[in-house]
Amino acid sequence: MPVAEHVLAHAAERPSKLAVRGPGGELTYARLAHRIEAAARHLAGNGLGPGVTAAIGLADPADLLVAVLAADLAGATPLVGDHTWDRARWSTVTAPLPIVPVTTPLPAAPIDAPLPATASIGASPPAAPLAALPPDPAGPAVRRRARPDDLAWACFSSGSTGRPRAIVRTRASWTGSYHHLNALTGIGPDDVVLVPGPLVSSLYAFAALHTLATGATALLPGRWPGRALADHLAEASVVHLVPHRLPDVLDRPGSLRVAVVGGAALAPGARQAAERAGVRVVAYYGATELSFVAADTDGGGLRPFPEVELEVRGEGPLGEVWVRSPWLAEGYLGAAAGPLRRDEDGWVSVGDVAEPYRAGGVLRVRGRGDGAIQTGGATVVPEDVEEVLRKVPGVGDVVVVGSPHPSLGAVVTAVIESPFSEPPPRALLEETARGGLDWAQRPRHWYAVPELPRTPTGKPARALVAARLASGDPAIRRLR
């Protein structure tokens, strides 16, 4: 059923329980349910329902969740974007789809440029604004027969390329996995869950909605909380985050007991550091298009997430990861191009590569296949090189890309992130590369930056790094 109906049920059972704390204040479950009901009436009264996509870009995470849950309750498909995008930016990332922007909190303020109630995807939006409904929440409840295959969520994925694509999925492809995540992590209604990132990221949006469906309390700063992190951790029992933020959390874990980590591989030594801090790490591998694929709950390696089938196809040391599960997205809105491929038997892939896999064994992912570097007839997976170089003292993070070469096709290039000090000497980096990498894998060019550009999910933006290198960006300093 819609997450909003879970919220309404929690409000009936525990009305005074804190549901959300964000930059704008707190909402109990009773108050959150009250706002969702009013907002759903606002949307439904303006014709938003099945077949309509509501493009939601709100700065405050509580306001954003109200709009998302209200749209789902009304039967529309919420599409979460960045609140800083203007109409031209929305048009760029959603064309040729019509969009109904929700850029002010609901229900008190009107939204503009609606679709009519009978509109369907592909129609042209009219120019008339939505009518402003009064903020008084009194009125009939908005209820419709929700189905598991309703298109109940859409979000953007940029992967490591920086170019967002709108991905749409059914209600069941998200909400059906909630109980499995609870079983793997132990998350329950008495937890306080810190979600320290923007909800435009599907990783953080999933975490927030899962928290509310569970009946727990969501701490939603809307971005990385910086100096306020320790205050949040003093309350939180669970945190969802990306790997490069885990060390910050482990420095002052507060009352934390579980860290749910996704988006990239864990750095060497991360689990040991978490154990010393008394924090259990549940790491997972997936993609926005695939949702959960595999999880590692104890350091024993990635194993299939419940109800997921895995294959690694291809000959040789690496093959392509293919998945079949109930958690897959339907595809890209507007028939946008993307890495998602589907075969006739329902298996899908986004091009990630892994070592050969046997059913019931450990999945060893080695990165996205379309990021592989072809150098002198050898194929180099950037993540393999990055894993070795992250062990060098003074390396905060690293991105490996291919640089054009007239005879080899490309050579491996490493860009080192060293935020608080001088980067390690090139001699030390090269010594580490010689000790842990094959000849073809060793970087031929070395650069350093104070901070790597990142995607909304916290992954280093590999394609943007490559583009900046190609353009001769002076902020990227060559190591000699």
Domain edge (last residue) among 368, 388, 409: 368
Shared-domain flag, residues 378 and 457: yes
User: What is the per-residue pLDDT across 216-249, written as a single tens digit (0 to 9) for each?
Assistant: 999 999 999 999 999 999 999 999 998 888 999 9
Q: Give the position of tokens 């490591």.
A: 160
Shared-domain flag, residues 302 and 416: no
Distance CA 342, CA 349 (A): 7
The count of other CB atoms within 10 Å of the CB of residue 399 is 28
Domain edge (last residue) among 342, 368, 394: 368
Below-50 pLDDT ranges, the chain: 108-137, 160-162
CA 410, distance to chain mean position in Å, is: 31
In a domain, 257, yes or no: yes
Q: How many folded domains does the chain comprise? A: 2
| CB environment 449-461: b (16+ within 10 A), e (fewer) | beebbbbbbbbbb
CATH number, residue 297: 3.40.50.12780
Tell me, what's the pLDDT at 369? 65
Q: Give the position of tokens 């008495």.
A: 190
User: What is the per-residue pLDDT across 157-188, written as a single tens digit (0 to 9) for each?
Assistant: 755 444 567 899 999 999 999 999 999 999 99
**Total-model pTM:** 0.79
Tell me, what's the pLDDT at 149? 86
Distance CA 224, CA 266 (A): 19
19, two tokens? 């549901």
Shared-domain flag, residues 316 and 393: no
Three-state SS for 71-130 is HHHHCCEEEECCCCCCHHHHHHHHCCCCCEEECCCCCCCCCCCCCCCCCCCCCCCCCCCC
Shared-domain flag, residues 215 and 358: yes
Shared-domain flag, residues 222 and 252: yes
Shared-domain flag, residues 472 and 363: no
Distance CA 296, CA 282 (A): 6
CB 64 within 8 A of CB 58: yes
CA 409, distance to chain mean position in Å, is: 33
User: What is the per-residue pLDDT across 341-378, written as a single tens digit (0 to 9) for each?
Assistant: 999 999 999 988 889 999 989 999 887 766 778 786 66
Tell me, what's the pLDDT at 415? 97
Tell me, what's the pLDDT at 98? 67
Distance CA 211, CA 182 (A): 10
Shared-domain flag, residues 236 and 318: yes
Tell me, what's the pLDDT at 163? 53
450, two tokens? 């104070």
Tell me, what's the pLDDT at 50? 86
Shared-domain flag, residues 214 and 301: yes
Domain edge (last residue) among 368, 403, 420: 368
Burial class (CB in 10 A: 0-12, 13-18, 19+), 5: middle
Range of the domain at 474: 373-478
Torsion over CA: 112, 118, 122, 125 (sign): negative
In a domain, 109, yes or no: no
Q: For residue 433, give the amino acid letter.
A: A
CATH number, residue 440: 3.30.300.30
CB 330 within 8 A of CB 345: no
